[in-house]
Amino acid sequence: MPTTETALASAEAHSAHNYHPLPVVVASADGAWMTDVEGRRYLDMLAGYSALNFGHGNRRLIDAAKAQLDRVTLTSRAFHHDRFADFCARLAELCGMEMVLPMNTGAEAVETAVKTARKWGYRVKGVPDGMAKIIVAADNFHGRTTTIVSFSTDHEARADFGPYTPGFEIVPYGDLTALGAAMTENTVAVLMEPIQGEAGVLVPPPGYLAGVREMTRERNVLFVADEIQSGLGRTGRTFACEHEGVVPDMYVLGKALGGGVVPVSAVVSSAAVLGVFHAGEHGSTFGGNPLACAVALEVMAMLRTGEFQQRAAELGDHLHRELALMAEGGAVEAVRGRGLWAGVDIAPALGTGREISEKLMARGVLVKDTHGSTIRIAPPLMISKEDLDWGLEQLRDVLRG
């Protein structure tokens, strides 16, 4: 096994520097805890940006994966396999929708949503060819493909990657008037995160999502909710949209859908919308593969009982109460979020988000900065209250200096 030092030096030399990870080298993990190559233990308060909602090495998920590994792992979509129909039916049911188009990563699912909305616009809504517009929000994060970064407002994510894909309109997040003004006859979709994760866990003003729903319905525009990070239990509900009683036309899912085992993503919608696709018009070699379906079916079985959602709601209330107390002390300037998900703005005098993350790491807690002085807290939903409290105690101590 490499030491921390040799692993970091080798990664520095041989891995492109497109990330700036904390200097910890994980060797194993179990539940909410990770162990590094030196045998040090860390509480995981990031959970792979919600990809690990059910914790590391979740027994049910690992068993489902192992059983499937021994049967069949890949068929490509050239053939049916015996987990596929069930995966689609169960996911449609979980979403209260009719059809599923499986992909692998989140970005691919967002690309799929963009293509679906455009095709629906031309074939169903009757938008003139090549004129379809999709409205997105400023400070969004939807992934890293050339088309997706075309509608990012983040300089680092965008610069040097042009020419950019046209057909997107950016409006301020949370501003219904601006959204209304941006809509035209050629608008086919509004694509948004119900809570903006990368932007610092920004929760839109009350009534915003309901307003987007109403406005899109009135104008015959698809409301596409990117719930890749917010969905599947994180906020205390299956979908973050539920907090406003909103049902979008399309969910874009990823991260936790693969149970932290394999990448699984999907677009889920009505037959009227996803029915626009015919053979050959879109696809993915690995999308909906047997291993992915087996793991995702187990993820869905765990979500159906509602226990993870309830846990996220209860522990989330506790988390937000504790963070509010820290805010009273002045070390924390603002806290946002829902459920087991929080964006915490640290008083800049106490350090950058990166510095706070490094200090927490030294105390055995792993979180990550989003930008500036903001850190994101998103532990696995199965974390114990004792572990969560211990993690928060470390944060309190770090902020005390």
Ligand X SMILES: *Cc1c(COP(=O)(O)O)cnc(C)c1O
* 252, amino acid identity: V
- By CB under 6 A, tell whether 143 contacts ligand X: yes
Active-site position among 54, 84, 87, 141? 141
Residue 368 binds ligand X (CB under 6 A): no
228 makes contact with ligand X (CB under 6 A) = yes
For the stretch 116-155, what's the b/e string if a residue is b when 16 or more beta carbons lie within 10 angstroms of its beta carbon? bbbbbbbeebebeeeebbbbbbbbbbbbebebbbbbbbee
User: Which helix (H) or strand (E) is 6 found in, with range?
Assistant: helix 4-14
Q: Among the residues of 220-335, which ranges form H helices?
A: 271-274, 290-304, 307-328
- Binds ligand X by CB under 6 A, chosen from 110, 127, 209, 315: 110
Number of CB atoms found within 10 A of residue 324's CB = 11
142 belongs to the binding site for ligand X (CB under 6 A): yes
Report whether 224 contacts 117 (CB < 8 A). yes
Q: Report the nearest approach of ligand X to the CB of residue 227 (Å).
A: 8
Considering only the stretches 32-40, 61-69, 101-109, 354-362, report the one whose residues sit in contact with ligand X under the rule CB under 6 A: 101-109
| 133 catalytic residue (yes or no) | no
SS3 (DSSP) at 394: helix
Options 125, 133, 255, 359, the catalytic residue: 255
Determine the residue with CB nearest ligand X. 106
DSSP state for residue 307 in the 8-state scheme: H
Residue 233 to residue 381: CA distance in whole angstroms: 8
Which residue type, as a one-letter code, is found at position 254?
G
CB of 85 to ligand X, least distance (A): 25
Tell me if 49 contacts ligand X by CB under 6 A.
yes
**Which secondary structure element, helix H or strand E, spans residue 191, and what is its range?**
strand 187-192
Residue 229 as a binder of ligand X (CB under 6 A): the answer is yes
Residue 332 as a binder of ligand X (CB under 6 A): the answer is no
SS (H, E, C) 44-113: ECCHHHHCCCCCECCHHHHHHHHHHHCCCCCCCCCCCCCCHHHHHHHHHHHHCCCEEEEECCHHHHHHHH
Q: 343 forms bridges with which residues in the sheet? A: 336, 376
The site string for ligand X over 273-312 (x = CB under 6 A, - otherwise) reads ----------------------------------------
Q: Site for ligand X (CB under 6 A): which residue of 31, 55, 102, 106?
A: 106
338 binds ligand X (CB under 6 A): no
Q: Which is nearer to ligand X, 17 or 80 (CB)?
A: 17
Told to judge if 125 belongs to the known catalytic residues of this protein, a careful annotator would answer: no
- Name the catalytic one among 226, 249, 345, 369: 226
Residue 141 found at the interface with ligand X (CB under 6 A):
yes
CB of 54 to ligand X, least distance (A): 17
Q: Residues in the site for ligand X, rule: CB under 6 A?
A: 49, 105-107, 110, 141-143, 193, 197, 226, 228-229, 254-255
Give the residue numbers annotated as catalytic, written as ranges: 141, 226, 255
